[in-house]
Structure formats: C-alpha cells, structure tokens
Amino acid sequence: MDFSFTEEQKMIKDAVRDFMKKECPSDLIREVEQDDKGYSRELWRKMAELGWLGLIFPVEYGGSGGDEIGLVVLLEEIGRYLAPVPFLQTIILGGLSILYAGNEEHKREFLPKISNGELILTMALTERDLSYDATGINVRAIRKGKNFLINGAKLFVPYANIADYIVCATRTKDVKKKENGVTLFLIDGKNPGVSCTELITMAFDKQYEVVFEQAKISEGNMVGGYGKGWEIIKRVLEQATIAQCALMIGGAEMVLEMAVAYAKKRTQFGHPIGSYQAIQHRCANMKIDLDGARFATYESAWRLDRGLPCTKEISVAKAWVNQSYNRICANGHQIFGGTGLMKEHDMQLYSRRGKAAEFLWGDTSFHREIVAQQLGI
C-alpha cells in the first residue's frame, strides 16, 4: 500500500481545506445548530457547484468518477470543519443505494440531481432496538396490487425533516433467515403517510423518528428487488462506516492542532504549558491515536477500492476511530481546561460530535464482535 496522495488527491485536499476555512467558520456551526433545517443551504449549493457532491458517481450519471481514497480525502476536510451539510446521508446512504441497486431509470433520474445539489436523501434503517443487522428491521411493507403499504416507525433518521426522498428498509417476508426478507423502497419525503419528529441529541445533528402510517408506495419505487435489500444495505453501510471514520479523523486532527497551538502560547508559572512533560505526553498520545485511526481508515478504503475483502478492516477502523477520537477530545479538554467546556469555545463542538459519532453505523462493541467473527471465534 502507498499512502502518499496522487496529484489529484492533493488538489482535492487543498481545495476543500481552503474552501472550508473560508466558508465554514465555527460561528456557522453554532448558527446551524439553532436552525430548524439543520444544514447550510448556501454551503451545500457551493459544494455542488464545485462538483464535490458527484465525486464518487460515474461520469455517465453526472459525477466525476472519483475513487474511494479521493472521497475519504474530501470527507476528512469536511469533518475537520464540522461542515453542517447532509453529505454522508445524501451521497452515501441515498446516492450509493441507487447507484448499486437502482434500475437505469432511477440512476438517470436521481444521480445527476444529487450531484448538482437539487435533491437531499437519507436512509431510514434503525428501529427500537437500534441494531445494524437484519433482525432489527420490522417496519412492514405489505403488497396491495402494484403498490405497497408501509407501516411502522424508524428511529434516528438523519435529516428526515429536509429529505426529498428516504431510502427505507422494510420487512416484506417472514423467513427464518432474516436477511432474505428485507426490501428497500425509495419514498417521497412528502408522502402523506410519512411524519417525523425531532429527537434532541447532544450533537444537535438533526436526528428524527419517522413514522409510516399506511404510506402508499409504488412497486416501481423498489430498490434492488423484492426481498433483496439486505445485501445492498450491507454494502452501503460499509461505505458509510468508512465515510464516518474519515469525518471523525478530520475532526480529531483539528482538535490536535488546536491543543498544540494552545499549549505553545498558554503560560503557567512563567513557562508555556507545552514545556511540561504532562502536556507533551498528552499531545503525543493524541498524535498516536490520530495516526492509528488514519492508517486503519485508509487501509479499509484502499481495500474497498480494489474489490478486496475488507469487512474486518472496516470494523477495525471504526472500533479504533470511535475510541481514538474520544480520547483525543478528552485530552484536548484536559489541555484547554475549563474554557474548553464553554459554548463560546470550539473544543466542545468537536467533543459533542465525537461522542455522537461513536454510535453511528455501529459502536465499538458492535465492531469488535464483527472482528471476532472474522477471526473465526
């Protein structure tokens, strides 16, 4: 493996960082936290104009045909500035579901509109038990002629309030092997049978309970075929997990840089606090955690790009990133002291999001179980 960036990847990294530094100050994050929409429409529009929303899609569907490493590079910089945009939800959960399993009509209708910022999508997956396996999918879709009626509730659906379409995982068959009874549907967010209620979280990241009451869906809105949804979900969740790791790495790097800069200028007893071993070792531990997280994430992305087995590597990455990001934030708080807990300080923005991100697409225990299974135990 060669972790050095290509010229194109360097250009992506530099361009996104310069753009985010200018267009996404921390004041914008605080402003959006209080906004009912939960995202910056202007920032989203500008990202679309720059072509970043279509980076991973093929050229024939309005994208630029980029690779997985390029996407990780882009997401790191988005995470570095906590950009308040529904990128992972729209591009990964929604767009890649359509790319992987949608029919040709779906691809040509939706993917160009996603790439140019016209459409926002999300996925409704988890329910009451908050599991990321097929046994947790119990929202029912019952066939009625050429339509389906969907009933039940989904929890922690990101950006459901603004989504033009929701990719919903439903139970269409009761079979012994639960994976064989899951079907995906592309549901209009304005469907009269769909309602959503905001769930207040510590990250203020716009998570919703979505209730389906006799929501009528045409069979033409099925994604991937009847009873064949779980394989699509697994594939998309692998992408989403890597994407989440990349976002967290970007945030962790920013915390490290803020902490080191503060340690150099903050004086105590006549010396910069960075001259004391206790602070030096905290910063060193932050760097060790960051590099381990980055290497694990890039290895999984590299393997995914080349079609190599990567289930174990992805779970190793997420389990490590979950812990390392939160350790980095904890060390950052120790270095900043009480000021890092103030709302006016940026440190708390990162630590709140780090704790929330730990549980997205599987917490550490979930991914440890997968690693153990991959080891044959």
The pLDDT > 70 percentage for the chain reads 99
pTM, full prediction: 0.95
pLDDT category of residue 176 using cuts at 50, 70 and 90: confident
Under a CB-based contact definition with an 8 Å cutoff, are residues 332 and 255 in contact?
Answer: yes
283: domain range?
231-374
Which of residues 103, 120, 137 is at a domain's end? Answer: 120
* 139-150 confidence digits (pLDDT tens): 999 999 999 999
Question: Does 2 fall in a domain?
Answer: no
Given a cut of 90, whether residue 104 has pLDDT beyond it is: yes
Residue 184, in any domain of the structure: yes
Give the pLDDT score at 331. 97
Residue 138 confidence class, pLDDT cut points 50, 70, 90? very high
What digits encode the pLDDT tens for the residues 270-303?
899 999 999 999 999 999 999 999 999 999 999 9
Question: Could you give the CA distance from residue 318 to residue 326 in angstroms, rounded to a whole number?
Answer: 12
For residue 109, give the nearest of 247, 235, 221, 260 by alpha carbon.
Answer: 221
Domain membership of residue 1 (yes or no) is: no
pLDDT of residue 299: 96
Q: Are residues 108 and 172 in the same domain?
A: no
Instruction: Specify if 19 maps to a domain.
Output: yes
Least confident of 8-12, 167-171, 212-216, 243-247: 8-12
Query: Residue 347 and residue 336: Cα distance in Å, rounded?
Result: 8
Average pLDDT, the chain: 95
Q: Residue 278 domain-assigned?
A: yes
Domain boundary among 120, 137, 167: 120
Task: State pLDDT tens for residues 23-54.
Answer: 999 999 999 999 999 999 999 999 999 999 99
Residue 24 belongs to a domain with what CATH number? 1.10.540.10
- Taking the C-alpha atoms of residue 245 and residue 287, their distance in angstroms, rounded to an integer, is 16
The total number of structural domains that make up the chain: 3
Residues 21 and 74 both lie in one domain: yes
Buried b (16+ CB within 10 A) or exposed e, 354-373: bbebbebbbebebbeebbee
Rounded Cα distance between 221 and 174, Å, is 21
Q: Establish if 366 belongs to a structural domain.
A: yes
- Does 12 lie in the same domain as 105? yes
